[in-house]
C-alpha cells in the first residue's frame, strides 16, 4: 500500500491531464479516474491518457463518479492521501441546452467524492470551482470576499453548490477542502469546445468564427501551466480554520472550518478582439468574423483578484496571451498535422 497516492478525477480532461503529468514528473504516484464521456472527441482524451500511462507510477481507472460503489471501491483500493477533483460536466452554453447533464456529474458525482473523502480520511481535497460563480457581479476585479449568489447559468449554480457542499463537509467532518475558481483556462491539449480551439480550427479551414458581444467581451485568460503551478503549491497546504473568521461579518473565502476558496486567474483581462488578433498573428492568417450579441448566460467581463493566492503560496499567474497562444498554436499544428 502506498499512502502517498494522489487521486486526480477527470485525469483525461484538459486540466486533469496537465496536473497529472506535472505530479508524475515530480515523482508522485497518481491514480486517474475518468468516465471518458463523449462531450467532446474521446480521441483527444485517449491521446492525453496515452502520455500519462507511460509513467509506471500512473494508474488509470475508467469510473463514472455517479457510480458510488465504483468510487468507494477505488478509495478502498488505493488509500489516497490527497484528492484533486477536476471531473465535471463543463461548459456554460451547454448547460443551457442540456441542463440535466449537470446534476448527475456536478452534484451527485461531487457528493460521492465528499463521502469517499470522509470515510477515507483524506488529508486534503482540492476541487474545481469556476469564475462563472461571480455571475451578475459588476464589481471588478472579482474577489473571493464578494458574495456570489447570482449565477447566470446552471453550470455556475452547480459550481456554487459544490462550494457550499464542500463547506458543509469541512464543518461536519473537518475535511480540509480548498476550492479553486478557474478563469478561462487555455493551452495545449485544450478543450475543443473552448474559443481558442474553435477559432484556431475555423481560421485554418477558412471558415468564419462567431464573435459574441461584437468582440467587446473581456476575459481573464489563464494559461494552464499557471493553473497547475497554483495547484502544485496548494496541494501540500491543507486548508485550515481561519481564527479571525466572524459569523457576524462572514468572509466567504474562509471559515471557522478547514475551508478556503481561491481565484486562479491571470488578473489581466483581455478584450476578445485583441485575443483574436494575437491568434491571427500566431497563425499567420486572418479570421472571418461573424459578430453576434452576448449569449444568454455569458458575462461581459471576468477579472480575478489573486491576492489571497499570492499570500498563500507566493505565486501569481503570469504567462502572457502572446506566449500562451503561441504554445497552443505550436501544439495544435503538431497534433493535427
Active-site positions? Answer: 155
Alpha-carbon distance 330 to 309, whole Å?
Answer: 30
**Largest Cα–Cα distance of the chain, in whole Å?**
59
DSSP 142: B
Q: Select from 47, 14, 11 the least CA-distant residue to 188.
A: 14
Q: Is residue 280 within 8 Å of 200, Cβ to Cβ?
A: no
Burial of 136 (0-12, 13-18, 19+ CB in 10 A): exposed
DSSP 308: H
Dihedral angle, C-alpha 229, 233, 238, 241, nearest 10 ° = -100
CA distances from 245 to 176, 195, 250, 252 (A): 16, 39, 7, 10
CA distances from 239 to 41, 179, 202, 253, 288 (A): 36, 10, 43, 11, 47
Burial of 281 (0-12, 13-18, 19+ CB in 10 A): middle
Amino acid at each position: 500500500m502506498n499512502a502517498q497516492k494522489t487521486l486526480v478525477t477527470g485525469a483525461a480532461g484538459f486540466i486533469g491531464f496537465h496536473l497529472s503529468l506535472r505530479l508524475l514528473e515530480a515523482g508522485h504516484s497518481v491514480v486517474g479516474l475518468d468516465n471518458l464521456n463523449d462531450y467532446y472527441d474521446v480521441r483527444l482524451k485517449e491521446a492525453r491518457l496515452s502520455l500519462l500511462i507511460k509513467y509506471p507510477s500512473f494508474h488509470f481507472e475508467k469510473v463514472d463518479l455517479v457510480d458510488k460503489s465504483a468510487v468507494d471501491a477505488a478509495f478502498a483500493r488505493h488509500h489516497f492521501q490527497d484528492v484533486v477533483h477536476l471531473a465535471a460536466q463543463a461548459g456554460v452554453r451547454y448547460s443551457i441546452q442540456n441542463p440535466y447533464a449537470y446534476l448527475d456529474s456536478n452534484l451527485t458525482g461531487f457528493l460521492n467524492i465528499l463521502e469517499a473523502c470522509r470515510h477515507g480520511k483524506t488529508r486534503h481535497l482540492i476541487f474545481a470551482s469556476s469564475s462563472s460563480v461571480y455571475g451578475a457581479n459588476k464589481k471588478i476585479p472579482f474577489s473571493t470576499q464578494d458574495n456570489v449568489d447570482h449565477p447566470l447559468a446552471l453550470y455556475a449554480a452547480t459550481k456554487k453548490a459544490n462550494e457550499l457542499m464542500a463547506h458543509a463537509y469541512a464543518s461536519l467532518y473537518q475535511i480540509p477542502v480548498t476550492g479553486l475558481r478557474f478563469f478561462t483556462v487555455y493551452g495545449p491539449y485544450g478543450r475543443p469546445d473552448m474559443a481558442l480551439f474553435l477559432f484556431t480550427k475555423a481560421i485554418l479551414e477558412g471558415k468564419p468564427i462567431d464573435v459574441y458581444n461584437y468582440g467587446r467581451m473581456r476575459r481573464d485568460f489563464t494559461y494552464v501551466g499557471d493553473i497547475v503551478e497554483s495547484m502544485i503549491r496548494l496541494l501540500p497546504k491543507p486548508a485550515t480554520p481561519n481564527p479571525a473568521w466572524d459569523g457576524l461579518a462572514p468572509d466567504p473565502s474562509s471559515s471557522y472550518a478547514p475551508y478556503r476558496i481561491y481565484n486562479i486567474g491571470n488578473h489581466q483581462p483581455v478584450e476578445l478582439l485583441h485575443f483574436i488578433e494575437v491568434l491571427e498573428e500566431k497563425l499567420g492568417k486572418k479570421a472571418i468574423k461573424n459578430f453576434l450579441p452576448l449569449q444568454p448566460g455569458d458575462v461581459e467581463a471576468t477579472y480575478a483578484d489573486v491576492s489571497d493566492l499570492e499570500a498563500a503560496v507566493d505565486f501569481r499567474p503570469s504567462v502572457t496571451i502572446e506566449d500562451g497562444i503561441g504554445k497552443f498554436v505550436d501544439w495544435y499544428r503538431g497534433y493535427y498535422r
